[in-house]
């Protein structure tokens, strides 16, 4: 790509922003017993009476060891949804700038575009669920600030080919966001290992899926120090609460437990796929690099309601492009998966 200068992509108000300085920002880890009378907190200890660390340094340090990425390249948010919203607010001028998304994909990109009054240019995936590089680059111009690549993609469950991703990162003149919510289930490598090569790359991950912590809301953003420092300036100061930080630390310190669960989910996924292929009204079981499976059936609306009547909720994706009559099944526990397969066989 041409000489990359982040200032050419940032909104003017963000370039000139003077961030809110919280009471705790002024105190920098002084050792010894300090008396904190700076933030109008209640002094009686109950575990959460103090404001949380706005920089979540302990969690970042833990993540940094796990992923081999230094803390200056990490930003944490209240779920990836907050991280994605911060990216919009940093780079997209309302009613002026645009983004590019590749449906069928995660619905939040379009919702966030609408909330931020940013036009979403839609370039559908090819029939094999890979991005069409030429169409994307043809649609790109100086106003298309963000390109969202979800890999493995939700709801199609495939990863994008790495040559295609690389071509897009190097040719697209804005910021490329790779949403790796499902990377831990994938056979592909994470792009966080290549951040140094691509100054316009942002990679997002989450503790909501493989890490089993959707309830605590913790999203992770990896990018250049320049991008991270900008997002840091616009994030709400205490966006990751103390309970979330504590639970995340606990979980991140037991990576073997997480790996074991991932292994079991993948085993279940592969069993589940082989069983789905035996069901008479199943037409296509798409390969999966994630913890869910996209399945084309004879009549998605009918099968969806039949499953609801049997007490099983799945996701009906029939109205998404390229997903006519498709259902998306999350891989559950062995018992849940057996229950679903039995229910499908009985329809
Ligand atoms: C589930 C999911 C997320 C997770 O969002 P959180 O806000 O971190 O829970 C992000 N991206 C995609 C594509 C997802 O499917």
d(C-alpha 218, C-alpha 195), whole Å: 21
Give the CATH fold of the 256-345 domain: 3.90.1150
Segment among 2-11, 69-78, 130-139, 238-247 with least mean pLDDT:
2-11
pLDDT over 60 (residue 148): yes
CATH class entry, domain 6-18+54-253: alpha beta
Nearest-atom index, ligand 1, CA of 206: 8
| Residue 16 pLDDT | 86
E strands, 224-314, where? 282-285, 292-297
| Residue 3 pLDDT | 76
User: pLDDT (tens digit, 9 = 90+) per residue, 46-64?
Assistant: 999 999 999 999 999 999 9
Q: Which of 77, 80, 186, 317 to mutate to test the pocket of ligand 1 (most atoms within 8 A of CB)?
A: 80
What does the pLDDT average to over 301-310? 98
Domain limits, the chain: 6-18+54-253, 256-345
Nearest-atom index, ligand 1, CA of 214: 9
Residue having the nearest C-alpha atom to atom 10 of ligand 1: 181
CA 99 to ligand 1 centroid distance, Å: 18
Reported confidence tier of residue 345, pLDDT bands at 50, 70, 90? very high
Closest residue by Cα to residue 327 from 156, 159, 180: 156
pLDDT over 90 (residue 110): yes
Pairing of strands 175-179, 201-206: parallel
Closest residue by Cα to residue 210 from 158, 152, 160: 152
Residue having the nearest C-alpha atom to atom 5 of ligand 1: 80
Enumerate residues lining ligand 1, CB below 6 A. Answer: 79-81, 106, 150, 154, 179, 181, 206, 208-209, 214, 219
pLDDT over 60 (residue 1): no
| Residue 79 pLDDT | 97
d(C-alpha 174, C-alpha 147), whole Å: 7
CA distances to 132, 281, 322, 333 from 325, in Å: 23, 11, 9, 25
* 256-345 has the same fold as 6-18+54-253: no
d(C-alpha 106, C-alpha 145), whole Å: 18
28, burial (CB in 10 Å: exposed 0-12, middle 13-18, buried 19+): exposed
d(C-alpha 80, C-alpha 76), whole Å: 8
Instruction: Please provide the average confidence, as pLDDT, over all residues in the chain.
Output: 96
User: pLDDT (tens digit, 9 = 90+) per residue, 215-241?
Assistant: 999 999 999 999 999 999 999 999 999
Closest residue by Cα to residue 285 from 166, 158, 182: 158
Closest residue by Cα to residue 99 from 86, 116, 82, 83: 116
| Residue 328 pLDDT | 98
CA distances to 50, 244, 333, 346 from 25, in Å: 13, 20, 44, 60
Reported confidence tier of residue 2, pLDDT bands at 50, 70, 90? low
d(C-alpha 223, C-alpha 300), whole Å: 39
CA 141 to ligand 1 centroid distance, Å: 28
Tokens, residue 276 = 């789905």
Stated as kind and residue range, the H or E segment containing 221 is strand 219-222
| Residue 271 pLDDT | 98
User: pLDDT (tens digit, 9 = 90+) per residue, 8-47?
Assistant: 999 999 998 887 777 766 666 656 678 889 899 999 999 9
| Residue 23 pLDDT | 73
Nearest-atom index, ligand 1, CA of 209: 1
d(C-alpha 239, C-alpha 22), whole Å: 12
CB 179 within 8 A of CB 149: yes
CA 86 to ligand 1 centroid distance, Å: 15
| Residue 18 pLDDT | 82
């Amino acid at each position: 790509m041409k000489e990359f200068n982040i200032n050419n992509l940032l909104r003017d108000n963000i370039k000139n922003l003077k961030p809110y300085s919280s009471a705790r920002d002024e105190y920098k880890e002084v050792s010894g017993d300090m008396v904190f009378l700076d933030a109008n907190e209640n002094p009686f200890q109950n575990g959460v009476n103090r404001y949380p660390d706005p920089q979540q340094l302990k969690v970042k340090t833990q993540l940094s060891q796990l992923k081999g990425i230094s803390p200056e390249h990490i930003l944490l948010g209240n779920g990836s949804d907050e991280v994605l919203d911060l990216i919009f607010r940093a780079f997209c001028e309302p009613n002026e700038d645009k983004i590019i998304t590749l449906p069928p994909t995660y619905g939040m990109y379009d919702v966030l575009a609408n909330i931020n009054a940013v036009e979403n240019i839609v370039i559908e995936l090819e029939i094999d669920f890979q991005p069409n590089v030429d169409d994307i680059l043809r649609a790109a111009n100086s106003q298309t600030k963000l390109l969202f690549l979800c890999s493995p993609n939700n709801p199609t469950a495939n990863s994008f080919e790495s040559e295609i991703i690389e071509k897009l990162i190097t040719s697209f003149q804005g910021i490329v966001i790779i949403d790796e919510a499902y990377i831990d289930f994938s056979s592909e490598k994470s792009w966080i290992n290549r951040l140094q090569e691509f100054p316009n790359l942002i990679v997002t991950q989450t503790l909501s899926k493989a890490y089993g912590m959707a309830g605590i809301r913790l999203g992770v953003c990896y990018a250049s120090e320049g991008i991270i420092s900008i997002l840091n300036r616009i994030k709400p100061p205490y966006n990751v609460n103390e309970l979330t930080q504590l639970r995340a630390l606990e979980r991140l310190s037991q990576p073997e437990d997480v790996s074991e669960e991932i292994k079991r989910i993948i085993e279940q996924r592969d069993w589940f796929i082989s069983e789905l292929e035996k069901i008479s009204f199943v037409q296509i079981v798409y390969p999966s690099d994630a913890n869910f499976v996209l399945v084309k059936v004879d009549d998605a609306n009918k099968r969806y309601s039949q499953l609801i009547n049997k007490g099983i909720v799945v996701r009906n994706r029939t109205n998404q492009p390229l997903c006519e009559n498709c259902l998306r099944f999350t891989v559950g526990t062995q018992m849940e998966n057996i229950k679903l397969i039995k229910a499908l066989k009985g329809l």
